[in-house]
Chains A and B, each alone.
Chain A
Amino acid sequence: MPDRVARRRFLLALGALLAAPVARRAWALVARRHGPHPTPRPGIDASKVLGDEHLADWPDARPAFEAVRQIPQVADGIRCTCGCADKPGFYSLLSCYEGEGMALHCPICQGEARLAYRLYQSGKSLDEIRAAIDARYL
């Protein structure tokens, strides 16, 4: 069926953009996406965010890591909706960029950070950013 072939090719191309090998797994983790957004921890900073030396194999993730480094206090007030939020040691979207670096290969973690940064730059409040992320990813 030609339409399916064309569709498949288009989606495969998108998959390449997304570094898709794990994207589906991330999308599938929908059961625990919902929950309250965390309160940013006082004095939180980006000191534990993975550095560029960890991003060599993940060039597509670089803009998101850059974004989080700019707004750690905002990222710490956002519940990640990809399903990682209930994992031990995870507190907020900021946690996705620390430790094992879930965000290295998760397009949702990356998208939430990049969207938060765009909205933060345009003057949106944390609550407005949270609402936009919920609208997009829930």
Chain B
Amino acid sequence: MRRLAGGLVLATLASTLPHSVRAQVRASERAEVKQTVDGTTITVNYARPRLRGRAQVFGTQVPWGEIWTPGANDATTLAVSKDVTIDGHAVAKGKYSVWIVMAPGDWVMVLDRDTTLFHMNGPKERPGQVRFTVRKETVPATEVLTWSFPDVRASRARLVMQWATTAVPLDIAVTPTQSLVVAPAVGRRVEGRYDLQFKPPPPPSDTSHAAEPPMPTRMEFTVRQDGDRLRARMDPPLWPGAEELVLVRKSDELFLLAEADDDGLKELWDWAALEFAFTDGRATGFEVRLPNDEAIASGKRMP
């Protein structure tokens, strides 16, 4: 009875200890890395083992033939908020435990729906898993196992697992929310040269900085169909580097400007919409409107 009472006292004390006192120092501390790509959130949660003086771990500490979670302790997890592809393989929205079938040759990545597994209890091959061979790269040594997103584009990102002198890059592609495709029949209606005039912006409220060159408030705005894209050119541009743009179709009358390259969308200017007016099926001009529908510029077709 006294032992039971003592246990209860200890349990009560333990539960009232501050978190910092109860916190446990771990050899492989837990970490999380998260990246949003065009509205899709990709999250990796993992523990971070260290080399601790070992030159190499693959084939030794992590033996060939093992199904290894690239982390430590509780399995590394990968969560995607929408459907994606990883190295071209479809991965449905959801959370997965992450594993690699270790071998001297090809490594096979396994994404398993059971996210409660411990590192020593790797999953057997079973339906519902996503399995694919991954690339390996030799890189300068990394002391602590690291997952990172070294490259993020408009609709894709590169996720890399790196430890010791080995890196595994994973190319994740999301479904773009904006299409750059504009049908020629739609584009032809707005093609042409426009005299675009912006209202002068209000003076900056913070005058403590050195004055900058004034922004152009009048420019030639040219729209042309180029394959399946509708391109726009500002001369002079609102700022250097913004000469060449694309129009993203929201409706046959409404477009957003965007910066894009051959790889796809770089940045959508969703703060300004171009609202075209038409006569006999041909645009006569457009207004540039802010989200609050205030018109900040207007373009008139040039002869």
Interface residues of A (CB under 8 A from B): 2-3, 5-7, 9-14, 16-18, 23, 27, 30, 60, 64, 107-108, 110-112, 114-115, 118, 131-132, 135-137
Q: Please name all residues of chain B whose beta carbon is closer than 8 Å to the beta carbon of A107 when the two chains form the complex.
A: 290-292
Question: Nearest Cβ in chain B — how far from A14, in angstroms?
Answer: 6
**CB nearest neighbor in A for B240:** A3
Chain B residues positioned under 8 Å from A5 (CB to CB): 212
Q: Which residues of B contact A137 (CB under 8 A)?
A: 291
Q: Given the interface contacts A6-B240, A7-B242, A135-B250, does A17 sit within 8 Å of B215 by beta carbon?
A: no
Interface of B is mostly: loop
Q: In this assembly, does B18 line the interface, its C-beta being within 8 Å of a C-beta of chain A?
A: no
Q: Are B39 and A9 in contact (CB under 8 A)?
A: no
Provide the residues of chain B in CB contact with A16, threshold 8 Å.
Answer: 201-202, 204-205
Q: Which 9 residue pairs of A and B lie closest in terms of their CB atoms, listed nearest first?
A: A13-B201, A114-B293, A6-B239, A107-B292, A135-B251, A3-B240, A111-B293, A3-B241, A110-B292
Q: Which of A7, A14, A108 contacts B296 (CB 8 A)?
A: A14
Residues of A close to B272: CB separation below 8 A: 14
- Which of the residues A7, A60, A135 comes within 8 Å of B292, measured between beta carbons? A60
Q: Give the contacting residue for B290; candidates A7, A9, A14; CB below 8 A.
A: A14
Nearest-Cβ distance from residue B41 to partner chain A, whole angstroms:
11
B242 touches A115 (CB 8 A): no
**Docked-complex contact B290 and A111, CB < 8 angstroms:** yes
Query: In this assembly, does B273 line the interface, its C-beta being within 8 Å of a C-beta of chain A?
Result: yes
B250, chain A: closest CB distance, angstroms: 5
Q: Residue of B at shortest CB range from A82?
A: B291
- A136–B270 CA distance with the chains assembled, in angstroms: 9
Instruction: Check if B79 is an interface residue, CB within 8 A of chain A.
Output: no
A107 to B270, CA, bound (A): 13
Max chain A Cβ within 10 angstroms of own Cβ: one of B205, B238, B239, B293? B293
Q: Mark B270-297, 1 if CB is under 8 A from A, else 0.
A: 1111000000000000000111111010
Q: Tell me if B213 counts as interface (CB < 8 A to partner A).
A: yes
Measured between beta carbons, the chain B residues less than 8 angstroms from A135 are 250-251, 254
Please determine whether B204 and A9 come into contact, CB atoms closer than 8 angstroms: yes
Query: A110-B293, A111-B292, A118-B293 are known contacts. Are A3 and B201 too (CB-CB below 8 A)?
Result: no
Which residue of B212, B251, B270 contacts A9 across the interface (Cβ within 8 Å)?
A: B212
Bound-state Cα–Cα, A100 to B82, Å: 34
**What residue in chain B is nearest A30 (Cβ atoms)?**
B39
A112 to B238, CA, bound (A): 27
Best-buried of A110, A112, A136 by chain B (most CB within 10 Å): A136
23 A-B contacts (beta carbon < 8 Å): A3-B241, A6-B238, A7-B238, A7-B242, A10-B201, A10-B215, A10-B239, A11-B271, A12-B204, A13-B204, A14-B271, A14-B296, A16-B201, A27-B270, A60-B292, A111-B292, A112-B293, A114-B293, A115-B293, A131-B251, A135-B251, A135-B254, A137-B291
Extra contacts besides A14-B290, A114-B292 (8): CB < 8 Å = A6-B215, A17-B296, A18-B292, A111-B289, A114-B294, A115-B293, A136-B254, A136-B273
- What residues of chain B lie closer than 8 Å to A115, measured between beta carbons? 293
Chain A min CB distance to B286 (Å): 14
Known A-B contacts A9-B215, A30-B39; the reply to A14 vs B254 at CB < 8 A is no
Given contacts A132-B251, A135-B254, A136-B254, contact A17 B293 (CB under 8 A): no
Contact A23 B205 (CB under 8 A): no
Distance (whole angstroms) from the CB of B182 to the closest CB of chain A: 14
Q: Which residue of B lies closest to A114 (CB)?
A: B293
Query: With the chains together, A11 CA to B202 CA distance in Å?
Result: 11
**Residues on the B chain within 8 Å of A18, using CB:** 290-292
Task: Return chain B residues, CB-CB under 8 Å to A64.
Answer: 292-293
Chain B nearest CB, measured from A60 CB (Å) = 7
List the A side residues contacting B296 at CB < 8 Å.
14, 17
- Chain A contacts for B291, CB-based, 8 A: 18, 23, 27, 107-108, 111, 137
Bound complex: CA A10 to CA B271 (Å): 12
